Chain A
């Protein structure tokens, strides 16, 4: 019996203490007609050796690829120490720190995480994490509607330069709360949101404007003027960012005259493996004045009976276990383990290390894009500055190219055709710091050969 330690003698002694004749008797309050849990589709138990062999075989079957897909998930180096420490049993197998005195390790780490994220985003405060980027944006939208007391509407301006799946998640989560999401189109030359596009929507009362930086295309938005436009129209600003980019790019808290009001995004680039999509973590940070509208767990520093500093969950009056139907969100767990990894990752890289990684990613992508755009039938799609990801236009459908590259164990990028048919044969590519000059040249050569010979 895996993981069940009872001997026959234990079972007998325990049943005697209970006064029951069998374990089955302990279920006698359950109607007999319901006690029929046959498990026909569950295979017999496997030993650890057997399951290890199976998993190794399945992992090998999938193998590894050179990955030039970004689109919201980025392949970065993760120091060995990050996951060795994060998976220490004391972090891995603890729960939400309800008993603060017995959870000072997790709580202090979360306080350090909040400090790092607040600084990285340029905001006053951060929570202790959300599930992932898409749902973090949805929570930011809900939060903005609660926080914007000048706006009577529940109207949100959402650029189409926001990740298409993020927009789908927001629609799913806010659908039943009478929140209206209004698409803002992008400039076909620049791939960015213009003030003209926003002005066309002027006059309507708007609760918040979402501003991605960089946007889904890797294009840099004019965050300063967009932020000022939003504030001039009594709307809050939700900055959606890549946290690694924030080591190099102007953080949301410094956008425009007064800064964004809420910053959010996915923390995956901070030491979290791609892992087919998760677990990652979402982050959300805001100005001090909105802290009571924040969803999720928040850790505060306080003192103990002796006046010694310590850490505890705080502002719990916002949360579901206290407020029930009046809570700011139904969130209970967050992504503690991922935040543990990200905090260690940020501590190991430091401000200089993160900035170097951000620069190397950007430089690699620029090199890749320049070399690809030098091929016949390939051009850069947008004329605006980008960060660490960019769109290329092809004179033929990219699906065939991607298939050809896949056979050479290269994942050549993200085909934009499905989400943005108006862009035609467009490919979103990203080369992180993990790609060498030789890798990039091999990718370019393979692409060139496929384009020529099909």
Chain B
């Protein structure tokens, strides 16, 4: 039942609003609202019960193994939330003078410095509010750099065909044409294709490493050489930074500009689809173009740097200071882990992924890249089962929900047919991974004996399989009360 269907005209929560409906007759009637917005009129308990019950219809990291590939669904430490929500932090106005927020700014500055160190970049701005905004900032900086050299012939961004959809979408938002580079059968970028694609029109390349195929791009140094020799810059999509945290730094691989997804690698909440935080890091030559605001330390104090301090900045991405509360959570997480803890992130994420991959392979699943190591994630392809048994990766994913596991990422990357992209993360126990393997095998057995069980899945959730086609065809995006 929707909250609106529990609503009764005239029901209100007097304790949550001012006692009186004070007079505002100085505002002329022409500016005033004449109708009442359709908002619920429910008691506080009704609202609390309704949204608590809704929450119980979700799978989440706190309740379920959530091996959603490319999303790094690891444990979000509770302390990161409670400490970032200390009342003084929450109450602070974004336009409050810097000298009233030195405690907060110290956290911001230290996080900025730590992010420089873990990525091997020369400077970091934490202004972008999500990975896609970090990408935008990164590519806009590449453009600002070429423009600053009056190099206006560079109109193309190269993007491997395995890339996240945000990469080509971002390049277009920055006014670039996108040229796709194919991947070879080992999961690496096709170097011959790259060599023939680069030229004076190349502004840069956007790469994820490890790639979305769950493998490390082994010839990254060669790629960097080819692109740099053509005068282009290298952009690092940090979506998979968890796979190399504390092991390899993007700066050492030759990248000029990177973004990080703090909601992945630094465990800030995914929140049902955000907020994210997408700090960007750059090498020497892109420093002038970083987005504002950033944090500086001078004369013994901290302050926000703005357009006045950074005249060549690519600009401002938010009216205020970005997702500060999320950055605080990332700061606390980084301090809890410390140097040793950070070194172990990639190690145990990789151990879990390779263990899961080895066990699934032994038990009859096909891997997309069987000859390769898994990074922090890997791909199972159900192409053979799809052909033989008439089931799809989606059927498999939906049946996993019945067994109490969130499904891996399905149908991404697009290059691998009937794929499951599986990322267990470092915070899962061996027992949980073993239970997941058991469920995968049970479903495989069901697919052979009773495929309808998969086709009709899920069976045990609040709803059965939903009709997405109808949702798009007969759009119902807002509730309207029945007539009369």
Contact = CB atoms under 8 A, between A and B. Distances in A.
B234 interface: no
B110 to A, nearest CB: 9
B129 A101 contact: no
A18 B472 CA distance: 44
Interface stretch (A146-154, A200-208, A269-277, A438-446): A269-277
Contacts of B57: 103-105, 108
Contacts of B12: 350, 352-353
Nearest to A297: B273
B305 interface: no
Interface string A318-351: 0111111111011111111111100110111111
Contact of A165 (B319, B337, B372): B319
Contacts of A90: 55-56, 58, 60, 62-63
B384 interface: no
Contacts of A17: 355, 358-359, 362
Contact of B350 (A23, A172, A314): A23
Contacts of A13: 430
B96 A91 contact: no
Contact of B168 (A111, A312, A325, A406): A325
Contacts of A332: 130-132, 164-166
Interface string A59-94: 111111101010111010101010101011111111
B149 interface: no
Contact of A69 (B85, B95, B116, B136): B95
A102 B59 contact: yes
A335 B202 CA distance: 34
A320 B275 contact: no
A343 B26 CA distance: 30
Contact of A37 (B249, B354, B463): B249
A62 B397 contact: no
A97 interface: yes
Given A4-B341, A100-B468, A353-B13, 9 more contacts: A59-B87, A93-B61, A93-B76, A94-B58, A105-B55, A247-B37, A320-B166, A330-B173, A402-B97
Interface stretch (B28-36, B279-287, B441-449): B28-36
B441 to A, nearest CB: 15
17 contacts: A15-B351, A30-B247, A43-B335, A51-B332, A59-B87, A62-B100, A81-B44, A90-B62, A93-B269, A101-B458, A111-B479, A220-B27, A277-B94, A329-B173, A332-B130, A332-B165, A348-B47
Nearest to A387: B27
Interface in A114-138: 114-116, 118-120, 124-126, 128-129, 131-135
B228 interface: no
Interface stretch (A182-190, A355-363, A372-380): A355-363
Nearest to B23: A363
Nearest to B161: A324
A44 B17 contact: no
Given A45-B337, A91-B58, A93-B269, A64 B466 contact: no
Nearest to B31: A220
Given A51-B79, A171-B315, A109 B169 contact: no
B324 A120 contact: no
Given A34-B248, A41-B117, A101-B466, A46 B323 contact: no
Q: Which 10 A-B pairs have the closest CB atoms?
A: A45-B338, A89-B62, A337-B271, A172-B315, A277-B320, A58-B103, A277-B321, A176-B175, A277-B94, A134-B319
B340 interface: yes
A177 B175 contact: yes
A334 B100 CA distance: 30
Contacts of A406: 97, 99-100
A173 B175 CA distance: 11
B15 to A, nearest CB: 8
B354 A246 contact: no
Interface residues of A, number: 201
A346 B106 contact: no
A26 B354 CA distance: 8
A3 B48 contact: no
Interface in A236-292: 246-251, 254, 266, 273-281, 291
Given A298-B477, A356-B18, A314 B468 contact: yes
Interface in B374-392: 374
Interface in B48-74: 48, 50-52, 54-64, 66, 68, 71, 73-74
Most buried by B among A39, A120, A124: A39
Contacts of B73: 93, 95
B91 interface: yes
A55 interface: yes
A54 interface: yes
Interface string B81-115: 10101111111111111011111101100000110
Contacts of B151: none
B133 A131 contact: yes
B22 A360 contact: yes
Nearest to A96: B273
Given A39-B342, A42-B342, A354-B39, A58 B95 contact: no
B464 A116 contact: no
Contact of B83 (A55, A124, A223): A55
B24 interface: yes
Nearest to A364: B22
B106 A58 contact: yes
Contact of A362 (B20, B27, B34): B27
A302 B275 contact: no
